[in-house]
Amino acid sequence: MLALKLALVPGFLAALTMAGRVWGPSVAGWLAGLPVVAGPILLLLALERGTDFAAQASAASIAAIAASEAFNFAYAWTCRVSGWRAALLAGLFAWALAAVLLTHLPLGLAWSMAAACVAVGGSQAGLPRVEGAVPAARISGADLLLRMFAGALLTLAVTTLSASMGAAWSGVLSVFPLLGSVLAVSAQRAHGAPFVALLMRGMVIGRASFAAFFSVIALTLPTLGVLPAFACGAVVSVIVQGATKRLVAMSRKPRTPLAALD
């Protein structure tokens, strides 16, 4: 089990990083919406803590989308006027505040979906807009190793502490913006705030497949069992992800400034 914890999430992160390197920030953010970190963590929780615990944590993971969007919103706006350190602190503070508030919500699928929908709508309307094209990022080997190492640490922390944290905090912490924070910092350092904004907007689109995955898990895990429920969730998540592909293509098109139309 320890070997699975150390290999599963870092392996997903490596594959996602390389895909984003090829296709650019919008696609990287979109792919980051897949449950490549939280999904394996919840699978391990289901194997270790049982299906009822994992089902409750899955519902909390959907609500935690709101905390991740709080991180993205704070980071995207702060990085326009400050360096990556200040932006990261602002993002983590926003995430922590939202996470604490979310753990006081009733632990149910309806409340979780409502919180996620409000957060996604707010991000779609309020994240910075980008004019012109932004090139794909080049990810160094050191950045890739950092992401994989951080993913392994997060997996170990959540699965180890879940016994004392309970289902709500386990679900919320499984959606800690590990990938988002590393992507945002490396993107800002290499390409600046416009790249970060495109990355965050791609993440907003990718939230649909994330929510679909954990909705299926929360609904089917107690009755179907671990492997069938996660298999169904993965299939639904991929279908929803494919359905949003056109939105990603639209977000990658350069926006024409109004002044150019005069």
pLDDT for 95 beyond 80: yes
Whole-number Å distance between alpha carbons of 93 and 225: 37
Residue of higher predicted confidence among 155 and 254: 155
**Position 183 confidence tier, pLDDT thresholds 50, 70, 90:** confident
For the chain, the structural domain boundaries read 2-254
pLDDT of residue 164: 75
What percent of the chain is modeled with pLDDT above 90? 34
Torsion of CA 188, 193, 195, 196, to 10 degrees: 70
Which has the closest alpha carbon to 208: 168, 161, 164, 247?
Answer: 247
Map tokens 């895909």 to a residue: 19
**Position 85 confidence tier, pLDDT thresholds 50, 70, 90:** very high
pTM confidence score: 0.80
Residues 104-111 have a mean pLDDT of 83
pLDDT of residue 23: 65
pLDDT of residue 178: 77
pLDDT for 113 beyond 50: yes
Both structure tokens of 146: 């950092």
DSSP string across the chain: -HHHHHHHHHHHHHHHHHHHHHH-HHHHHHHHTS-TTHHHHHHHHHHHH-HHHHHHHHHHHHHTHHHHHHHHHHHHHHTTTS-HHHHHHHHHHHHHHHHHHHTTS-SSHHHHHHHHHHHHHHHHHHSPP--S--PPP---HHHHHHHHHHHHHHHHHHHHHHHHHHHHHHHHHHT-SHHHHHHHHHHHHHH-HHHHHHHHHHHHHHHHHHHHHHHHHHHHHHHH-HHHHHHHHHHHHHHHHHHTHHHHHHHHSPPPPGGGG-
Residues 104-126 have a mean pLDDT of 88
Least confident piece of the model among 45-54, 84-93, 122-131: 122-131
At 257, the amino acid letter reads: P
Map tokens 């009755």 to a residue: 223
Which has the closest alpha carbon to 25: 151, 155, 139?
Answer: 139
